[in-house]
Amino acid sequence: MTGRTITRAQLSDAVYQEVGLSRNESADLVEAVLAEITTSLAAGDAVKISSFGSFYVREKGRRMGRNPKTGEEVPILPRRVLVFRPSHVLKGRISTSLVNQPRTET
Protein backbone atom coordinates (compact mmCIF):
# COMPACT_ATOMS: atom_id res chain seq x y z
CA MET A 1 0.00 0.00 0.00
CA THR A 2 1.72 3.12 -1.17
CA GLY A 3 -0.93 5.76 -0.50
CA ARG A 4 0.30 7.90 -3.37
CA THR A 5 -1.74 10.45 -5.26
CA ILE A 6 -1.65 10.28 -9.04
CA THR A 7 -2.21 13.53 -10.91
CA ARG A 8 -2.30 14.79 -14.48
CA ALA A 9 1.51 14.71 -14.52
CA GLN A 10 1.63 10.91 -14.09
CA LEU A 11 -1.14 10.40 -16.63
CA SER A 12 0.67 12.55 -19.20
CA ASP A 13 3.88 10.71 -18.47
CA ALA A 14 2.17 7.35 -19.04
CA VAL A 15 0.79 8.63 -22.35
CA TYR A 16 4.24 9.92 -23.27
CA GLN A 17 5.86 6.53 -22.53
CA GLU A 18 3.12 4.55 -24.21
CA VAL A 19 2.38 6.52 -27.37
CA GLY A 20 5.57 8.38 -28.13
CA LEU A 21 4.18 11.87 -28.63
CA SER A 22 6.08 14.79 -27.15
CA ARG A 23 5.61 15.50 -23.46
CA ASN A 24 3.73 18.67 -24.27
CA GLU A 25 1.39 17.00 -26.66
CA SER A 26 0.84 14.11 -24.25
CA ALA A 27 -0.23 16.59 -21.58
CA ASP A 28 -2.52 18.36 -24.06
CA LEU A 29 -4.18 15.07 -25.00
CA VAL A 30 -4.84 14.12 -21.38
CA GLU A 31 -6.47 17.51 -21.00
CA ALA A 32 -8.44 17.01 -24.22
CA VAL A 33 -9.84 13.69 -22.99
CA LEU A 34 -11.01 15.28 -19.74
CA ALA A 35 -12.45 18.23 -21.68
CA GLU A 36 -14.48 15.95 -24.00
CA ILE A 37 -15.89 14.09 -21.02
CA THR A 38 -16.76 17.38 -19.31
CA THR A 39 -18.45 18.76 -22.42
CA SER A 40 -20.56 15.65 -22.83
CA LEU A 41 -21.62 15.70 -19.17
CA ALA A 42 -22.32 19.44 -19.24
CA ALA A 43 -24.72 18.71 -22.13
CA GLY A 44 -26.44 16.18 -19.87
CA ASP A 45 -25.13 13.22 -21.85
CA ALA A 46 -23.76 10.30 -19.81
CA VAL A 47 -20.25 9.02 -20.54
CA LYS A 48 -19.76 5.26 -20.56
CA ILE A 49 -16.29 3.81 -20.69
CA SER A 50 -16.37 0.04 -21.01
CA SER A 51 -14.47 -1.90 -18.34
CA PHE A 52 -13.95 1.35 -16.39
CA GLY A 53 -17.30 2.86 -15.49
CA SER A 54 -20.01 5.35 -16.36
CA PHE A 55 -20.54 8.97 -15.45
CA TYR A 56 -24.17 10.00 -15.23
CA VAL A 57 -25.80 13.35 -14.64
CA ARG A 58 -28.68 13.26 -12.19
CA GLU A 59 -31.28 16.00 -11.81
CA LYS A 60 -32.05 16.84 -8.21
CA GLY A 61 -35.25 18.60 -7.25
CA ARG A 62 -35.68 21.58 -4.94
CA ARG A 63 -35.78 20.74 -1.24
CA MET A 64 -35.55 22.56 2.03
CA GLY A 65 -32.27 22.47 3.86
CA ARG A 66 -31.05 24.12 7.00
CA ASN A 67 -28.06 26.25 7.72
CA PRO A 68 -26.41 24.09 10.37
CA LYS A 69 -24.85 27.09 12.05
CA THR A 70 -27.91 29.30 12.40
CA GLY A 71 -30.68 26.69 12.16
CA GLU A 72 -32.29 28.82 9.49
CA GLU A 73 -34.27 27.05 6.75
CA VAL A 74 -32.93 27.66 3.27
CA PRO A 75 -34.17 26.28 -0.02
CA ILE A 76 -31.76 24.05 -1.90
CA LEU A 77 -32.41 24.81 -5.54
CA PRO A 78 -32.80 22.17 -8.22
CA ARG A 79 -29.42 21.21 -9.53
CA ARG A 80 -27.54 18.60 -11.50
CA VAL A 81 -25.09 16.27 -9.83
CA LEU A 82 -22.61 13.79 -11.20
CA VAL A 83 -22.70 10.12 -10.34
CA PHE A 84 -19.92 7.70 -11.18
CA ARG A 85 -20.85 4.04 -11.42
CA PRO A 86 -17.74 1.85 -11.59
CA SER A 87 -17.92 -1.11 -13.94
CA HIS A 88 -17.87 -4.64 -12.59
CA VAL A 89 -14.46 -5.09 -14.15
CA LEU A 90 -12.99 -2.18 -12.17
CA LYS A 91 -14.74 -3.18 -8.95
CA GLY A 92 -13.52 -6.75 -9.34
CA ARG A 93 -9.97 -5.64 -10.03
CA ILE A 94 -9.86 -3.40 -6.98
CA SER A 95 -11.47 -5.82 -4.59
CA THR A 96 -9.20 -8.70 -5.59
CA SER A 97 -6.01 -6.69 -5.37
CA LEU A 98 -6.88 -5.00 -2.08
CA VAL A 99 -8.27 -8.03 -0.32
CA ASN A 100 -7.34 -8.05 3.39
CA GLN A 101 -5.64 -4.71 3.18
CA PRO A 102 -7.16 -2.46 5.78
CA ARG A 103 -6.99 1.14 4.72
CA THR A 104 -8.01 4.38 6.29
CA GLU A 105 -10.65 6.34 4.43
CA THR A 106 -9.56 9.10 2.13
Near another protein in 5-44, by CB under 8 A: 5-8, 10-11, 14-15, 18-19, 21, 26, 29-30, 32-34, 36-38, 40-42
Least CB distance to another protein at residue 27 (A):
11
Per CB under 8 A, the list member of 50, 63, 70, 73 interacting with another protein is: 50
Task: Judge contact between 90 and 54, C-beta under 8 A.
Answer: no
Q: CB 89 → another protein: shortest distance, Å?
A: 8
How far is it, in rounded angstroms, from Cα 84 to Cα 104?
21
Q: How far is CA 40 from CA 36, 43, 51, in A?
A: 6, 5, 19
